[in-house]
Structure 1
């Protein structure tokens, strides 16, 4: 008897749906991207029960032709590509033709759609992949898709779905990324009747960032604008003051598509170099504009990963421009967040496209106009060429800023284009600055391996480096000579035949931490005179509320305060005068990373924070008497050799190493 058989369509469709629809957030992602591809200028997302009960996405886009509505739910039905060649010039967020049939296979779907010039719209109902209703109906222009009882026919998947709050957080997180991907679109998110986000849709990236993270973050942003003809880089990165304990505050976009990229994240970390403490990660919202022919977005069904054809032409300038942005001083900054002439992402549409324009050639957002192709197929989300003409007409559709330089560059770049003639990008400069040629080969697994790979691309002088090693064993400081202080941060002490370098902040921090532990301070609360209102990201908010009891155990009094915000009324006594928001976000990041954080872990975190804030700072000059007192206490109290964060307190260099350095011995 044959053991191999062909699966029936019912089973096959549910297996295929599992790749596309992993959780409610996957449904929101696909429907929101379809709305954007349809030229919508306003999109409203409504969810109940974390998206499991219902998801409703309404847009004012072009709508779907009545003859194409049922076809849209067939597997691999799409208006966005026709041949494999189209995969290398994709200008839309969607293209696989899998979203609608996958969603319909595992839920009960109702679609209402109408094109602007049509007399009537269409109402379509599908349950478990089967059409149960399809007829004309009076509906507004655009498209509304409602998905109910998600996974009702796949109970095995429901077992792996987290709480409604957690699923809502995933939805909020993705919507927030898309708000910053398309600041020109008004995006509204309503969860269980409460408005979470409502973006302005004014085309200003800083406005979108403020919608997601709050206005308080704006003064700590540094602007980036770069265009070399091959790609452009625009957006904002944060100062060291808003570094996070995880990479969750990093958003990267390629041609307005949100992506996850370890390589870009590592490159960003490299730009900060020693500006951030170990375990801190930068804030960033960065857009890359590049020809669709230079990237591959068909890596995974979720389309969150892409490949660059020439990574070395991107990573070097990426690091350089981020570094330049960080080097700006307050006096250098020309960015005024209240100025009317603020540079913005320009996507302004002249008018809503008509149904008659459905066979026109598309000009998409982030399309660098490298190719033209016929779109006369099932036009689920087609747009006419004029739909995304910019305010200035001289700027390319992908241009993020309306700078004069961008206009000039674009005119040189495009020239006199004739219909059907592809634009050839300018020849890459043969000689680049050394910094830009140092391509960062980001490792996909670990940061240490990443660092080794980076070094392979950076010319290193062949100089024998003296061996300076962290002190592993205790040093007897009964006999020593203080040589002096270096960089207002490190003390140089001669001890026998070696030199000891001491980090004054790390040593003092460790001593304070040990003394606080000895006092055994109880988990009492300290009431704040004025409650502190803290705005969190969707994921942070969900994690905090799910673990609110643990925060209460160590002395916090926290209450929900509107959408994605909390009111802190009391803090643990052990925290002292520390940054409340930073402590909360750091603790939440540990929840997210470990998926489990004990009360002991949180108490330890509070103690470390207090010790760190109270300790002598790097750059703070102290007297020789004070450092002698520190060394004497270190010697008597048996203070450990690392700070509470795990960094070494001391490093040593022997007399022999000095003699090797000066070629006295070989």
Structure 2
């Protein structure tokens, strides 16, 4: 059957209003978000929120902000009415949370609204009631300074929209989570949220971010968190990161405890979230997510917040700069603050790491590879570029080698007791950072094989080679096509000179196939080699070899963990030893 030609018509104001309301107001939490943002823009330092039935029945938001003048109250409910922007140029430097002039208009279009407000300097206030954007009453009111807005019967006349609401408890949890985020972003504002029988959320407004985290996570978790220090030159005009982050052990199975803010605006940003997660790579071996609140201050003309009506998405003029600032700021904080794991608190269960116990063919007698040089002097040039950023004394204490246990662990004395070093994990970290530094400078040493080896590869392995051509090129281990599914290898990195090149190549392909994210291809190259080039458990080492390894580890940027995230060492501190010997 032939369908009739549709006729193009202009939508009525009522239908347009409902479409606009649907973009801004999706559920009760959307109402709370818009009203709290208005309170913050009004300069409030105390905000009270109450909700019944998960916000489906009623929502009240009250503040002590500057209020609204009587002659502006009705205008505030008109579409695109705002006090935040006036000219086109204002859109290029939006400093307020709200600016579109759609919040009150959208809320009043799908609910019953009562607003009571008194502006600073006014003798009395004004109370106004609307029912689905129709004015019901307006009168003067004897109230205190500030604004209180009550919303009820949300989407009651639009059951098709209301049926998409979740349960009352689910909608209430969304509101609770939202207020938590507002409190983190605004530690100088005292928030109070009450939702019937559920436990109220209260913050003091002290201005101390850790106090807010105590109210949300509890004192036990919040006390372990690390504050990001703002260390920038006075002339720096770019993004500035601040906030508070969890230790590598304080991780979750989801991203629910990652809070992101840009210019005091709650946002969703893949760039910031990915940078935050990448900063923890190498600090732990699990696939869980870090916790923390990341606040980014960006010049107003370098960020666009006018992307979506909900105002939670942002675009940055320089995404790569933002990524670097976030990742670098978080990572440097972790490096400076993360201590060597203490045996007293060493309760975390790490995945068992399988490795051969035979003596390593990668550890030369002359100590000429793997970052060591015959003659007793460690080769530190590989780390000189990185060491200019963080000196080893700031990350790891100076250690004195005492001996070796089970041909696997090096025992050292340090400023806080005994340190046990896993020789394989430590050497793996040393090789990883050396290869990454050499790959960046394209100075990886290679050695030609006496006879090229012929490799038979399947289609998946061929794809891996194609996807990682830069890595094999930098390593000098370039597979040459030699017939169908066949490749020749003529050179290998020097750290693999005494290993089986065929086995090493397949292990590199296996490492490259792992679903591990890297901040650079140089790190990916180093990861693929480090494990297979490091000394193994069961290798008896001389005192000189152990001393050189420890010295190299002290010079690493991230000496506490191997590239897989396993600890390189544990610490039996003085207090623990004295307790064990009943001295205290």
Identify the TM-score tier after normalising by the shorter chain. Answer: 0.5 to 0.7
Match of 1:315 in 2: 323
- Provide the residue aligned with 1:163 in structure 2: 167
Output one character per residue of 1:485-511: Cα deviation in whole Å (capped at 9) or x when no partner: 99898789xxxxxxxxxxxxxxxxxxx
1:28 aligns with 2:32: yes
1:297 aligns with 2:305: yes
Gaps of 5+ in 2: 341-435, 441-464, 478-492, 494-504, 512-530, 540-565, 571-584
Which position in structure 2 is the counterpart of 1:461? Answer: 474
Distance 2:31 2:308 in 1: 16
The offset of 1:199, in angstroms, is 0.3
* TM score, norm. by length of structure 1: 0.52
| Partners of 1:53 and 1:95 in 2: CA distance | 28
How much does 1:312 deviate?
Answer: 2.5
CA deviation vs aligned residue, 1:193-226 (integer Å, no higher than 9, x gap): 5552110101011111111111111233122123
List structure 1 runs of 4+ shifted beyond 3 angstroms.
329-332, 454-463, 484-492, 617-621
SS, match of residue 249 in structure 2: helix
Alignment equivalent of 2:67, drawn from 44, 60, 63: 63
> Equivalent of 2:258, from 242, 250, 267?
250
Tell me how far apart the structure 1 counterparts of residues 337 and 261 of structure 2 sit (CA, whole Å). 27
How big is each residue's C-alpha offset from its partner over 1:588-640, in whole Å with a ceiling of 9 and x where there is no partner?
A: xxxxxxxxxxxxxxxxxxxxxxxxxxxxx97699xxxxxxxxxxxxxxxxxxx
**Equivalent position to 1:102, from 100, 106, 127:** 106
**CA shift digits 1:28-67 (9 cap, x unpaired):** 0000000000000100000000001000000000000000
Q: CA deviation at 1:232?
A: 1.3
- Structure with greater Cα Rg: 2
Once residues 103 and 199 of structure 2 are traced to their aligned partners in structure 1, the CA distance between those partners, rounded to angstroms, is: 26
Q: Indicate the residue corresponding to 1:342 in structure 2.
A: none
Distance 2:85 2:468 in 1: 41
- In structure 2, how many angstroms separate the alpha carbons of the residues matched to 1:323 and 1:457? 26
Match of 1:153 in 2: 157
The Cα of 1:314 is off from its aligned counterpart by 2.3
Q: Offset of 1:233 from its aligned partner? A: 0.8
Structure 1: where are the runs of 5+ without partners? 333-433, 439-451, 472-483, 493-616, 622-666
Contact 1:220 1:241 in 2 (8 A): no
Check 1:329–1:310 CA distance in 2 against 1; reply closer, same or farther (3 A cut).
closer
Per-residue displacement from partner, 1:228-262 (whole Å, max 9, x unpaired)? 52221111111121111111111111111111111
Number of positions where the alignment pairs a residue of Structure 1 with one of Structure 2? 369
Partners of 2:472 and 2:172 lie apart in 1 by 48
- State the shift of 1:279 in Å: 2.3
- Among candidates 77, 81, 84, match of residue 77 of structure 1: 81
Q: Partner of 1:111: helix, strand, or coil? A: strand
- Residues 1:276 and 1:154: Cα distance change in structure 2 (over 3 Å): farther
Partners of 2:307 and 2:314 within 8 A in 1? yes
Given that residues 225 and 232 in structure 1 are in contact (C-alpha distance below 8 angstroms), is that contact kept between their aligned partners in structure 2? no
Q: 1:269 corresponds to which residue? A: 277
Call closer, same or farther: CA 1:129–1:488 in 2, change over 3 Å: farther
Q: Distance in 2 between matches of 1:203 and 1:138?
A: 32
1:132 alignment partner, one of 122, 136, 148: 136
SS at match of 2:261: strand
The answer to whether the Cα contact below 8 Å between 2:241 and 2:325 also exists between their aligned partners in 1 is no
The alignment's TM-score, normalised by the length of structure 2, stands at 0.59
1:211 is aligned, of 208, 215, 218, to 215
- Give the corresponding residue for 2:289: 281
Change in CA separation of 1:329 and 1:34 when aligned onto 2, cut-off 3 Å: closer
- Relative to structure 1, is the Cα distance of residues 490 and 261 closer, same or farther in structure 2, using a 3 angstrom cutoff? farther
| CA distance 1:246–1:208, change in 2 (3 Å) | same
